[in-house]
Amino acid sequence: MGEQSEKEAYRIRYEAFGPPEEVLRGERMPVEPPGQGEVLVRMLARPVNPSDLLPVRGVYAHRTRLPGIPGYEGVGIVEETGPGVPRSLLGRRVLPLRGEGTWQELVRSEARWAVPVPDWMEDETAAQLYINPLTAWLVCTEVLALRPGDPLVVNAGGSALGRLLAQLAPVLGYRLFAAVRSSRDEVTLLALGASRASSAKGAELLAEVREWTEGEGAAAAIDSVGGDSGAELAACVRPGGTVLALGLLSGQPVDWASVAQSTGVRPALFHLRHWNARVTPAAWHGAFEQLALLLESGRLALPPVGWRYPLREFREALRAEQARAGRDGKVLLTR
């Protein structure tokens, strides 16, 4: 049996969907001790990601249970272990993933999915290791199975995910065309590893991609925006190519059936939760080990942290995330 005690902890919760600054509330609540195969983790840091706030706004209302706790990722220290969990985990830094929301002081997680953090990795890096890095790695290596030389086009190129896809291009050998919002993003993406970056839209974007691919169109595309941007991206892909929808940063869905009919592309969706449902613990930990190797070798780098707020100052963190508006630097919620 692991050590267990009665505890209370602060957490952020929402009981209705809506603007995060209106529906999120902080509260202190009793914490259940870890059960069979579980660990209780005291959080050190967790980022404020756009994807963390989409469920709060009700974008995924059909599969979001209320009340809810935001936060998909973060890093903490194992404080208690439940029955069946080695006590050697006590005091270890881990990523307590695939369980409760991380915007709370104490998070319960299944020990078999808790990812050990290497000693050399800083908390601010470890806190960001899940959503964007794992997604970028999986869509390139497993879902799209990109081969050296394959032309890939993406939107939201200046986002954290877009920058990871640019860094993975020289690692995996595919060629990346990144659609971005500004000329500054163009310079950044090219420096990170993209073959080409452009702030063009609509017909101009299509013309540039066609020229870049010698008239063939891209082999695949990754849409993180949805709406008109997603439809424009699909037009840049050759018939029979895949358009992978990853997110809805615009909040507007794409009528993929109509897009497929008009362009001949193959729409597909990727959600980490679907991969999570079928992955084995060995493959799960293996993917994180690959990411850690890339980070340690310097071939991959995660966004720097620009703003840090204690968990209780979550409203200030929300305002900082809104004001950031895609600028460099992550917003981090600390202890």
Q: What is the pLDDT of residues 220-278, one digit of tens each?
A: 999 999 899 999 999 999 999 999 999 877 778 899 999 999 999 999 999 899 999 99
Task: Say yes or no: 235 and 269 in one domain.
Answer: yes
Q: What CATH number should be reported for the domain holding residue 26?
A: 3.90.180.10
Average the pLDDT over 93-99 and give the result.
Answer: 95
The C-alpha R_g of the chain, in whole angstroms, comes to: 20
Six token digits for residue 213: 């691919």
- 280 assigned to some structural domain: no
- 225 assigned to some structural domain: yes
Task: Say yes or no: 84 and 14 in one domain.
Answer: yes
Task: Say yes or no: 137 and 118 in one domain.
Answer: no
Q: Residue 286 has what pLDDT?
A: 98
Task: Say yes or no: 59 and 32 in one domain.
Answer: yes
Six token digits for residue 97: 């993933």
Average the pLDDT over 280-308 and give the result.
Answer: 97
Angle between helices 314-324 and 50-57 (to 10 degrees): 110
Q: Residue 325 has what pLDDT?
A: 64
- 139 assigned to some structural domain: yes
- 283 assigned to some structural domain: no
Task: Say yes or no: 87 and 140 in one domain.
Answer: no
- 72 assigned to some structural domain: yes
- Residue 4 pLDDT > 70, yes or no? no
Task: Say yes or no: 207 and 253 in one domain.
Answer: yes
Q: Which amino acid is at 320?
A: A
Cα-based distances in Å from 134 to 84, 107, 164, 228: 28, 21, 10, 26
Task: Say yes or no: 160 and 109 in one domain.
Answer: no
Task: Say yes or no: 170 and 196 in one domain.
Answer: yes
- 295 assigned to some structural domain: no
Q: For residue 326, what pLDDT band results from cuts at 50, 70 and 90?
A: low
- Residue 296 pLDDT > 50, yes or no? yes
Q: Which range of residues forms the domain containing residue 19?
A: 7-129+302-334
- 318 assigned to some structural domain: yes
**Tally of domains in the chain:** 2
Q: What CATH number should be reported for the domain holding residue 180?
A: 3.40.50.720
pLDDT in tens, 110-146: 999 999 999 999 999 999 999 999 999 999 999 999 9
- 288 assigned to some structural domain: no
Q: Residue 44 has what pLDDT?
A: 98
Task: Say yes or no: 144 and 121 in one domain.
Answer: no
Q: Residue 333 has what pLDDT?
A: 98
Average the pLDDT over 145-162 and give the result.
Answer: 95
Task: Say yes or no: 168 and 99 in one domain.
Answer: no
Cα-based distances in Å from 222 to 39, 103, 241, 316, 330: 36, 29, 11, 32, 22
Distance CA 333, CA 307 (A): 9
Q: Residue 1 has what pLDDT?
A: 43
pLDDT in tens, 130-140: 999 999 999 99
Higher pLDDT, 325 or 200: 200
Task: Say yes or no: 124 and 154 in one domain.
Answer: no
Give this prediction's pTM: 0.92
| Residues 6 or more apart whose Cβ sits within 8 Å of residue 322 | none
The domain boundary, picked from 229, 253, 273, lies at 273
